[in-house]
Chains A and B, each alone.
Chain A
Amino acid sequence: MNANGKPKLAMYWASACGGCEISTLNIGEHILTVDAVFDLAFFPCIADFKVKDVLGYPDGYIDLCLINGAIRNSENEEMVRLLRRKSKLLVAFGSCAYEGCIPALSNLTTRDATLRAAYLDNPSIDNPAGTLPQPHTAVPEGDLEIPFFYHTVKSLDQVVDVDYTIPGCPPEPHQIWAVLQVVVAALTQGGSLPPKGVLLGAGSVAVCEECALAKHEKAVARFYRPYQIRPEPGLCLLEQGLICMGPATLSGCGALCPQVGMGCRGCYGPLPGAEDQGMRMLTAIASILDVSGRPGDNELDLERKVEAAADTIVDPAGTFYRFSMAHSLLRRARTDGVEAAVPQPAVWS
């Protein structure tokens, strides 16, 4: 802490959409308390800071650093390494930083295919020269350098040591405020900090516990996308054939989505100890799939029926691993060694 004695707060985004910042600002009038308690040390979203400001801080200068966003490119990695060094407490804030989230779905394909999808093969793109971003471009003024776009999107904990994790896409404001209160109490009144490595701002069971919809034994003959049916009110969505990740997802959000008719997307991630959220949900789905088979049915027929029912799930990888790809046991699609030629990120000192 510096002369005025206030703890320092930083919030930085890596590969992110900005939703986490909005959610943070959504804590409402509590933001005034945050402002009263903390000095902002780095928060590019709301205040004009430069990297060189951070470079000028002594190591460990920042008391609490919230990082949202996944690690997509070399700049993301350089920044989080730098912030790690400058921070006492580093928090993986939101699903991208926690487990890769939407950006990490590109781990299911190659860097090349991702760039093509973004810059070439897309109906909304007008790029007649077929220009792709290059790390180095020679221009009359000299060499232009942009960050290197990695093959694999990583979560924050796969790059630097993380003290706490706040799940959610984005984390719910009331949960953010609850976590901030704990940290503030620890920093200002000598309260104790939670043990390192824990998930903060979340419950301890699955979303279903917070969900008021009525639940029964399940037998689902086929699945629907949300626009295809109008769910019966008050009844568990999964039972009605709408994929709801609630049973495989950590509570804490208040079951907001299922209670307004949209199946849980799974953004709070798996329950502790349930290693792989997508796989967990898949085995659950497989267990409740009911093609009204009878003992003695022809195996091939059954297989065909099961396949037809399973085919009603559009984009299974994107559905079941929407948030957790970076942490999944699948890890990523094969790269056949291309990542060997990746430039090392710069290390700032």
Chain B
Amino acid sequence: MSPERIGVYVCHCGSNIAATVDVEEVALWASEELGDRGVVVARDYQFMCSSLGQELIEADIKEQGLTRVVVAACSPHLHERTFRTACKRAGLNPFLCELVSIREQVSWVHTDRAAATEKAMAVVSGGVERVTLHQPLEPLHVPIHPATLIVGGGIAGIQAALEIADSGYPVYLVEREPSIGGHMAQFDKTFPTLDCSACILTPKMVDVGGHPNVTLLTWSEVERVDGYVGSFTVTVRKKARYVDESVCTGCGICTEKCPVRVLDNTYEAGLGYRKAVYRPFAQAVPKYPVIDRENCTYFQRGKCKACQLFCPTHPKAIDFEQKDEILQFQVGNIILATGYDLFDCRRIPQYGYARLANVFTSLEFERLCNAAGPTGGKIVLRDGVTEPATVGIIHCVGSRDHNYNPYCSNICCMQSLKFGHLVKERTGAEVFNFYIDIRTAFKDYDEFYQRVLEDGVHFVRGRVAEVTDAARLPGEEGKLIIQVEDTLLGKQRRIPVDMVVLSAALQPRQDSTEVAYTFGIACSANGWFIEKHPKLDPVATMTEGIFIAGACQGPKDIPASVAQGAAAAARVLGRIHQKELALEPVRASIIAERCSGCRICNNLCPFNAISYDTARMITEINPALCQGCGTCVAACPSGAITGTQFSNEQVLAQLYGLLLLNVSSGPVQQPQPALVPA
């Protein structure tokens, strides 16, 4: 006879469970068969998670003196908290409640009602055996450090930084490039309103740059993150700028005097040049330049120093002796806003990029249009002077294509429409858009599409097969010919143009998996950071205290990136205001007398909670760092590490129950050692 008084509650979940599992039967079975395992009451109910359902449990705890509760319903991911809280309200320690899943693990994955019902009984039986061994636990309370780290200074990161800083809390904004701004700083006009990108972006950049609550760390990268939500220790490498920020006035004379011209593959997308000491663009924040060591004559050949010579400050702001700095600071929460990379169009050789001069990528085209760009905003061919008379814009390059990326890059339709409009506006050239579907689903987007249609841009529906300079027909000489099946006309077409623009896919940053690893979060199969819940928790991650915003979570436009930046900031501010966080008390601990110091577990902990005491020659676990993942518990060959709520005894008891070894009428007979077959 079990000393516990256990209540079992079986949920119908409307028809989600009840359609496949005979829930009444399961409850009845539990009260009859599990009576001597401690079950004193077993009920079924339409929606256990409803207030009425919870009240049922609470009333039983009070009136029947329940000491344990098993709820058979959905996955613990969804409602574990609900039922634990209900128990707590009725005066029962919340950790004496076990939620077993008969929806995700039973009704949703089976069709045979009889078998599913039997499995649900087994699952309930496992829960009953396990909960008997549960211990009352108290959550760990940790204080939340009020500072926040934001990684990535694109529009999403900038927005998040401003929201938090304006609320009065400190922000560290870490940007890998010499200036914040991200991709948006490269554009001329932004869809759908065609406002000037710089005009709406730079005020925000300036705000961040001068904000008393923002510590701006550009030309910097996060090397390491230790700790846990509420108290992360961040290690940042601030790369040497070779410019003393405390003296530099940002006058730009150094750049002017620098004799080296370097092809700018980042900001100018390979279309323009910069100097070896440079600021990526005029409105860069901060205003201080950096010296690009690889291309600097002094660093490579030991002499030059023109920049230093001409630097007008006293003392000189150029400092060739500067070293990388390693900074360490504490933050309570982290927002990742690292954005995206553009698809490498050379991967589709038949489109001719990097082989045919007048095939451009979308980012190159943005630079062509930009008044501050290499052509001063003139849309011209690679020769720098000739205006195109016809332009072909190819959508979905590397998107919606199983050879490259299966997903839709979300912004390319609008961006291609924007390009069509800009070509029309600036050159009067003939424009062809080659599309599969036009996706203009957001506010004012379809209106913009209509406007571009009225501009007289041609639309050809079909995936382009090839871009070639091999003329076959009259009128094709000297042109780029776009070979496409026009699926609306139902025929093959060859359209000669002067310029081709490839609307390339948005891709996860090439180092996104490493960044995810550093911050302990996960990437989807495509490489985008995974949110905690696609609908209900879009900016949180499975790792407490780490949030994501902007295009690093998936391709998105500026309005959505800004909204996510603000949303992540709101989540963080909510956390900061709580001041303290209750952590699950599920933790691993080492029984010191059992540890032989074999050190198998020593490098396994993803949270760095494990350390080796060289004096005592045994291993220790820091309970504040442990997140209860169980890796070390499974690894310890001596059984010296136990996990609260996941002890050997609890897991084996659950198995024993699952196999129905606990009931006399179970399908499997209890194997006594004596019954091992002869």
Residues in chain A within 8 A of chain B (CB atoms): 150-152, 154, 157-159, 204-209, 215-219, 236, 238, 246-248, 251, 270-275, 280-281, 283-284, 286-288, 294-296, 326, 331-332, 335, 339, 342
Contact: B676 with A209, CB < 8 Å?
A: no
Closest CB of chain A to B87's CB: distance in Å? 29
Given A205-B593, A248-B638, A286-B635, 7 more contacts at CB 8 Å? Answer: A205-B596, A271-B640, A274-B639, A283-B635, A283-B637, A287-B604, A287-B634
* Chain B residues, Cβ within 8 Å of A283: 634-635, 637
Which 3 A-B residue pairs are closest in the complex by CB-CB distance? A296-B513, A274-B639, A248-B637
Contact: A271 with B594, CB < 8 Å?
A: yes
Q: How many Å lie between the Cα of A159 and that of B596 in the bound state?
A: 33
The listed residue (A215, A273, A280, A331) touching B597 by CB distance below 8 A is: A215
Contact: A331 with B648, CB < 8 Å?
A: no
* Chain A residues, Cβ within 8 Å of B512: 296
Q: Known contacts A274-B637, A281-B637, A284-B636; decide if A157 and B673 are in contact (CB<8 Å).
A: yes
Q: How many Å lie between the Cα of A335 and that of B514 in the bound state?
A: 49
Name which residue of chain A comes closest to B604, CB basis: A287
Q: How many Å lie between the Cα of A218 and that of B637 in the bound state?
A: 14
Q: How many Å lie between the Cα of A156 and that of B671 in the bound state?
A: 16
Interface check B322, CB cutoff 8 A: no
Contact: A284 with B678, CB < 8 Å?
A: no
Q: How many Å lie between the Cα of A270 and that of B638 in the bound state?
A: 7
Closest CB of chain A to B631's CB: distance in Å? 7
Q: Known contacts A206-B637, A287-B604; decide if A154 and B676 are in contact (CB<8 Å).
A: yes
Contact: A218 with B678, CB < 8 Å?
A: no
Contact: B639 with A280, CB < 8 Å?
A: yes
Interface check B674, CB cutoff 8 A: yes
Interface string of B624-644 (1 = CB under 8 A from A): 000000010011111110000
* Chain A residues, Cβ within 8 Å of B599: 215-218, 236
Contact: B635 with A209, CB < 8 Å?
A: no
Contact: A339 with B596, CB < 8 Å?
A: no
Residues in chain B within 8 A of chain A (CB atoms): 512-514, 516-517, 523, 527, 593-604, 612, 631, 634-640, 648, 652, 671, 673-674, 676-678
Q: How many Å lie between the Cα of A284 and that of B593 in the bound state?
A: 19
Q: Known contacts A283-B637, A295-B516; decide if A335 and B600 are in contact (CB<8 Å).
A: no
* Chain B residues, Cβ within 8 Å of A251: 596
Q: Known contacts A152-B678, A296-B514, A296-B523; decide if A247 and B598 are in contact (CB<8 Å).
A: yes
Q: How many Å lie between the Cα of A63 and that of B603 in the bound state?
A: 51
Contact: A247 with B638, CB < 8 Å?
A: yes
Q: Known contacts A209-B597, A295-B513; decide if A217 and B639 are in contact (CB<8 Å).
A: no
* Chain A residues, Cβ within 8 Å of B602: 216-218
* Chain B residues, Cβ within 8 Å of A331: 671, 676
* Chain A residues, Cβ within 8 Å of B596: 205-209, 246-247, 251
The listed residue (B523, B612, B637, B652) touching A284 by CB distance below 8 A is: B637
Q: How many Å lie between the Cα of A205 and that of B640 in the bound state?
A: 9
Name which residue of chain A comes closest to B633, CB basis: A283
Contact: B637 with A280, CB < 8 Å?
A: yes
Interface centre among A151, A205, A272 (most CB of B within 10 A): A205
Name which residue of chain A comes closest to B603, CB basis: A217
Name which residue of chain B comes closest to A246, CB basis: B598
* Chain B residues, Cβ within 8 Å of A275: 639, 648, 652
> Can you report 14 A-B residue pairs in the complex whose CB atoms are below 8 A from each other?
A150-B678, A152-B677, A152-B678, A158-B674, A205-B593, A206-B596, A206-B638, A219-B603, A247-B598, A271-B639, A283-B635, A288-B600, A295-B513, A296-B513
Contact: B636 with A151, CB < 8 Å?
A: no
Q: How many Å lie between the Cα of A208 and that of B619 in the bound state?
A: 13
Q: How many Å lie between the Cα of A206 and that of B591 in the bound state?
A: 13
Q: How many Å lie between the Cα of A287 and that of B673 in the bound state?
A: 31
Q: How many Å lie between the Cα of A150 and that of B601 in the bound state?
A: 41
Q: How many Å lie between the Cα of A280 and that of B634 in the bound state?
A: 8
* Chain B residues, Cβ within 8 Å of A157: 673
Q: Known contacts A206-B598, A271-B594; decide if A287 and B631 are in contact (CB<8 Å).
A: yes
Name which residue of chain A comes closest to B649, CB basis: A273
Q: How many Å lie between the Cα of A215 and that of B602 in the bound state?
A: 11
The listed residue (B594, B600, B603, B674) touching A159 by CB distance below 8 A is: B674
* Chain A residues, Cβ within 8 Å of B631: 287
Interface centre among B593, B604, B635, B678 (most CB of A within 10 A): B678
Closest CB of chain A to B208's CB: distance in Å? 30
Closest CB of chain A to B179's CB: distance in Å? 28
* Chain A residues, Cβ within 8 Å of B595: 205
The listed residue (A152, A284, A295) touching B600 by CB distance below 8 A is: A284
The listed residue (A150, A209, A288, A295) touching B514 by CB distance below 8 A is: A295
* Chain A residues, Cβ within 8 Å of B648: 273-275
Q: How many Å lie between the Cα of A158 and that of B678 in the bound state?
A: 10
Q: How many Å lie between the Cα of A206 and that of B599 in the bound state?
A: 12
Q: How many Å lie between the Cα of A301 and that of B635 in the bound state?
A: 23
Q: How many Å lie between the Cα of A288 and that of B602 in the bound state?
A: 10
* Chain B residues, Cβ within 8 Å of A236: 599
Q: How many Å lie between the Cα of A208 and that of B640 in the bound state?
A: 13
Contact: B673 with A151, CB < 8 Å?
A: no
* Chain A residues, Cβ within 8 Å of B674: 158-159
Contact: B678 with A205, CB < 8 Å?
A: no
Q: How many Å lie between the Cα of A295 and that of B515 in the bound state?
A: 9
Name which residue of chain B comes closest to A205, CB basis: B596
Contact: B637 with A151, CB < 8 Å?
A: no
* Chain A residues, Cβ within 8 Å of B523: 295-296
Q: Known contacts A158-B676, A335-B677; decide if A296 and B527 are in contact (CB<8 Å).
A: yes
* Chain A residues, Cβ within 8 Å of B527: 296
Q: How many Å lie between the Cα of A247 and that of B639 in the bound state?
A: 10
Closest CB of chain A to B595's CB: distance in Å? 7
* Chain A residues, Cβ within 8 Å of B600: 218, 238, 247, 284, 287-288
Closest CB of chain A to B643's CB: distance in Å? 13
Closest CB of chain B to A98's CB: distance in Å? 13
Q: How many Å lie between the Cα of A217 and that of B594 in the bound state?
A: 19
Contact: A287 with B601, CB < 8 Å?
A: yes
Q: How many Å lie between the Cα of A205 and that of B593 in the bound state?
A: 7
Name which residue of chain A comes closest to B636, CB basis: A284
Q: How many Å lie between the Cα of A204 and that of B596 in the bound state?
A: 9
Q: Known contacts A275-B652, A283-B634, A284-B636; decide if A295 and B597 are in contact (CB<8 Å).
A: no
Closest CB of chain A to B513's CB: distance in Å? 3
Q: How many Å lie between the Cα of A160 and that of B514 in the bound state?
A: 58
Name which residue of chain A comes closest to B673, CB basis: A158
Contact: B603 with A151, CB < 8 Å?
A: no
Q: How many Å lie between the Cα of A331 and that of B599 in the bound state?
A: 30
Q: How many Å lie between the Cα of A46 and that of B637 in the bound state?
A: 39
* Chain B residues, Cβ within 8 Å of A209: 596-597
Name which residue of chain A comes closest to B515, CB basis: A295
Contact: B597 with A208, CB < 8 Å?
A: yes
